[in-house]
Amino acid sequence: MRPIMVAGNWKMNGLHADAQHLTQAILDAALAPTVPEVVLFPPFTLIASVAALARGSSLRWGGQNLFWENHGPYTGEISGPMLRDHGCRYVLVGHSERRQIFQESDEIVFRKVMAALHAGLTPVVCVGESEQERESGQTWEVLERQMTAILPALGANGQQANLIIAYEPIWAIGTGKTASPAQAQEAHAYLRSLVARKNPALAQKVLILYGGSVKANNAGALFAEEDIDGGLVGGASLQAGEFVQICRVAEQIGRGG
Ligand code: PEP
């Protein structure tokens, strides 16, 4: 049984006081220490604020992005070793907002995945189709293309599931239009089958999170699906009570890994 994970992507939101409030609310909820694993992705400027409170607890944190070089003349960029230096264990890679707004190609996503792995971070790699791609029947093709780009990195350092996949249909992100549990399960099973083509043992181990308008009232049905190993939560992760409730839902499902 794979463990379950709940991750909060704060995107470009929050100031120091907000980070303190949100982090403290999760710590106060005293979730079971390993079930679920809860990870916060604050903006870079708030990583230290989260870390100051969460260090020593079971709560984890990570960066929303990284650059593929470790240091040098890359004004405005942040590297994997810098994130590690701030206690990050995870980093988001290839979020659809980065793919769309910042033109991150599959090749760039792969370079970032490798940079994260070299820095000792676990990349949470986002894949997902747009509304138009779904409506024109291209969903599986798009997912296969995005997965083919990152699969060479999977298991690169042994038989560990060294990365996490987040299935985030773009039409469901920030829109309130959640994929139905059946739609999400179908996509997750497909993604797992793509991993299985490369490595059947790792396909059973790799976590595949669902993202796209996850809320406390739909998390239970989504997380109960066989191939859905938790959620990447955007908007709802900025509301302490709602996010804690989503974590509680995951806790009740209680997959210990
Ligand atoms: C996200 O941006 O990763 C996301 C899933 O956002 P939301 O939950 O707001 O749809």
Q: What is the pLDDT of residues 190-209, one digit of tens each?
A: 999 999 999 999 999 999 99
Residue 212 beta carbon below 6 angstroms from any ligand 1 atom:
yes
The question of whether 168 is a catalytic residue gets the answer: yes
251: number of Cβ within 10 Å: 17
Residue 230: enclosing H or E segment and its boundaries? Answer: strand 230-233
User: How many domains in the chain?
Assistant: 1
165 CB-near residues (< 8 Å, 6+ apart)? 124, 125, 127, 147, 191, 195, 206, 207, 208, 209
> What spacing in Å lies between the alpha carbon of 213 and ligand 1's midpoint?
6
Residue 93 beta carbon below 6 angstroms from any ligand 1 atom:
no
> What spacing in Å lies between the alpha carbon of 248 and ligand 1's midpoint?
19
Q: How far is CA 207 from CA 12, 154, 156, 245, in A?
A: 25, 12, 16, 21
CA angle 5, 124, 22 (to 5 degrees): 55
pLDDT in tens, 88-146: 999 999 999 999 999 999 999 999 999 999 999 999 999 999 999 999 999 999 999 99
Mean pLDDT in residue range 29-33? 82
**CA 2 to centroid of chain Cα atoms:** 15
Residue 154 has pLDDT above 70, yes or no: yes
DSSP result, 157-180 = TSSS---EEEE--GGGTTTS-PPP
CATH number of the domain encompassing residue 106: 3.20.20.70
Q: Which atom of ligand 1 lies at the shortest distance from residue 168's CA?
A: 5
The question of whether 95 is a catalytic residue gets the answer: yes
CA distance 19 to 8: 12
On whether the CB atoms of residues 85 and 48 are closer than 8 A, the answer is no
| Residue 82, domain extent | 5-254
CA distance 11 to 64: 7
**CA 161 to centroid of chain Cα atoms:** 14
Nearest CA to ligand 1 atom 4: 234
Mean pLDDT in residue range 139-157? 93
Identify the band that residue 256 occupies on the pLDDT scale cut at 50, 70 and 90: low
Strand partners, 215: none
CA distance 1 to 41: 25
Is the whole model's pTM more than 0.85, yes or no?
A: yes
Residue 106: enclosing H or E segment and its boundaries? Answer: helix 106-118
Given the DSSP bridges, would you call strands 90-93 and 60-63 parallel, antiparallel or unpaired? parallel
Residue 168 beta carbon below 6 angstroms from any ligand 1 atom:
yes
Substitution candidate for ligand 1 out of 101, 164, 168, 170 with most atoms within 8 A of CB = 168
Which one of the listed residues 95, 97, 104, 242 is annotated catalytic?
A: 95
Nearest to 2 by CA among 167, 228, 244: 228
Substitution candidate for ligand 1 out of 127, 131, 173 with most atoms within 8 A of CB = 173
Per-residue exposure over 123-137, b if at least 16 CB sit within 10 Å of its own CB, e if not = bbbbbbbbeebbeee
pLDDT in tens, 177-190: 888 999 999 999 99
Which one of the listed residues 37, 97, 133, 168 is annotated catalytic?
A: 168
Phi, psi (deg, nearest 5) at residue 238:
-90, -5
